[in-house]
Amino acid sequence: MEHEANWFKGAVFYEVLVRAFCDSNGDGTGDLRGLASKLDYLQWLGVDCLWLPPFYGSPLRDGGYDISDFRAVLPEFGTVEDFQHLLDEAHRRGIRVITDLVLNHTSDAHPWFQQSREDPDGPFGDFYVWSDDDSAYSDARIIFVDTETSNWTYDPVRGQFFWHRFFSHQPDLNYDNPAVQDAMLDVLRFWLEIGIDGFRLDAVPYLFEREGTNCENLPETHDFLRKCRKVVDDEYPGRVLLAEANQWPSDVVEYFGDQAVGGDECHMAFHFPLMPRIFMAVRRESRFPISEILAQTPAIPENAQWGIFLRNHDELTLEMVSDEERDYMYSEYAKDPRMKANIGIRRRLAPLLENDRNQHEL
């Protein structure tokens, strides 16, 4: 398949939850072979690119975003060979495939973390962020306030605290260690060599920590993303990096990189504030919620593209709306309290729009 530049600018992306899509062997779990068997249907739908959430080795305490082996496929989904088969069949139909790559952290079951906690002076001793106490980086917010009381967790094996921006079973990698950067660049190369068409880079704002900051969107993070982009451009041209940064566009625009050179970090980035306003516009029968946020959206490099989406595997997040707008969304789309999740709404797209085809097509 030709890897032409900028193919992503007009592409229709379709997120596929492999586990729930198609079961090829009757074990009750969707798998890669099952997905491959439905490619003709997806082609008929007009899908240009499949986006697969993590399918790597994982204890599955966070839906696969807790990775214990970056180079393996979850056994119930199949094998690396099955993934290669999916890629080949998709490419034969003109469909590209990207997958999630979690750069920020691993599972605490990952061999890197187990060796880091057991042998502080060994080759993986500095692969994670360790501290003798839990006082550092106090300006960083706790993301999962419902389950976590601190960004630090004490490890009795090593006798130190480790840093985690998400769940306590997901220790953050230490990107100040050049060996960590090299290891993660090698993970990129592994899947790009197999033929993947790109990555959605999960939770990119949190890669580095600096005292006196909120530990988000730091310059060092952009330095590393430029390294990722250089690997792609120099070794695998035509592949795409999509930034998942749940931030305001004025912050996210930095993830495209230097405008003067057409962008030297990520090719795409999600536009999070637009998504809830699309639903507001549908209910109000007014374009104003959409036009208002687009008017506040900064220009991006010529070779970049905003990722505009209706839904994904996360809840319909309402972080980036006013209190009044959030109350309106709850009143229209989440009348039952059970439909709420964190600061968002957890409902599938079809019932969210009352199974109304006209609203879907709008």
Render pLDDT for 308-338 as a digit per residue (tens, 0 to 9): 887 676 556 666 666 667 666 666 666 565 6
Do residues 145 and 183 lie in contact, with contact meaning Cβ atoms separated by under 8 Å? Answer: no
pLDDT digits (tens, 9 = 90+) for 152-205: 999 999 999 999 999 999 999 999 999 999 999 999 999 999 999 999 999 899
CA dist 57 and 70 (Å) reads 7
CA dist 95 and 28 (Å) reads 26
Instruction: Give the phi and the psi of residue 181 in degrees, each rounded to 5.
Output: -60, -45
Q: Return the sign of the alpha-carbon dihedral for residues 200, 102, 135, 218.
A: negative
pLDDT of the residue at 310: 78
Catalytic residue from among 66, 202, 216, 264: 202
Superfamily of domain 105-172: Oligo-1,6-glucosidase; Domain 2 (3.90.400.10)
Instruction: Give the phi and the psi of residue 179 in degrees, each rounded to 5.
Output: -65, -35
Give the Cα-Cα-Cα angle 198, 202, 207 (nearest 5 degrees). Answer: 115
Concerning whether 244 is annotated as a catalytic residue, the answer is: yes
Q: Return the sign of the alpha-carbon dihedral for residues 59, 61, 62, 66.
A: negative
Instruction: Give the phi and the psi of residue 154 in degrees, each rounded to 5.
Output: -80, 135
pLDDT digits (tens, 9 = 90+) for 103-152: 999 999 999 999 999 999 999 999 999 999 999 999 999 999 889 999 99
List the structure tokens of 312.
Answer: 């994904």
* C-alpha atoms less than 13 angstroms from C-alpha of 282 in its C-beta half-sphere: 21
Burial class of residue 231, CB neighbours in 10 A (0-12, 13-18, 19+): middle
pLDDT digits (tens, 9 = 90+) for 205-228: 999 999 999 999 999 999 999 999
The pTM for the full model equals 0.89
List the structure tokens of 335.
Answer: 């009348």
Parse the chain into domains and list their residue ranges: 105-172
Catalytic residue from among 244, 254, 264, 265: 244
Nearest residue to 290 (alpha-carbon basis) of 300, 282, 301: 282
Band of the pLDDT at 347, cuts 50, 70, 90?
very low
Nearest residue to 51 (alpha-carbon basis) of 80, 21, 71, 81: 21
